[in-house]
Amino acid sequence: MTTYRYDKITIDTDNPNHNAQLEALHARAARLLCTCVEPPLEMYLARTQAGIIVKRMPDTGPRHAPTCPSYEPPAELGGLAPCSARPSSKTPTPAPPYSGSAFPCHDGLADQCLPRTTPAHPAIPPRHSPAS
Ligand SMILES: [Zn+2]
């Protein structure tokens, strides 16, 4: 059972007359209040093929009581956060073919490379030293 409030009117979704109430409220663009939490959360009415439905305001899902049909877990708890993150922001930028540094940088890690004066690997000495 979900109970909404508008002014002094209570709309109970178990009440067979609630559709008529919603029709009347939709006609005057009324905003309902979801009473699952205190203070109540504002809701709006939308017309669908099935009739008038009560919808939560954008981004208010996590603020409803977990028992409320309008409740939506926060994105970070829903397991969808990594999927909803913009994938392009995580894609490393390929390094240019030749960056001009003293040693090759790994792709996308150019900013983590050591300064040019301290190469990661010391230069391999030539196999044959000049004879003296
Ligand atoms: Zn609610």
Tokens read off for 24? 């009347």
State the average pLDDT over residues 11-16: 90
Model pLDDT, residue 2: 87
Ligand 1 centroid to residue 82 C-alpha, Å: 26
pLDDT in tens, 1-11: 789 999 999 99
Ligand 1 centroid to residue 8 C-alpha, Å: 18
- 40: number of Cβ within 10 Å: 14
Q: How far is the CA of 64 from the centre of ligand 1 (A)?
A: 4
Say whether pTM exceeds 0.85: no
Alpha carbons 114 and 104: distance in angstroms, whole number: 11
Question: How does pLDDT run across 54-97, given as a tens digit for each residue?
Answer: 999 999 999 999 999 999 998 877 655 555 545 555 555 666 66
2 CA distance to ligand 1 middle (Å): 8
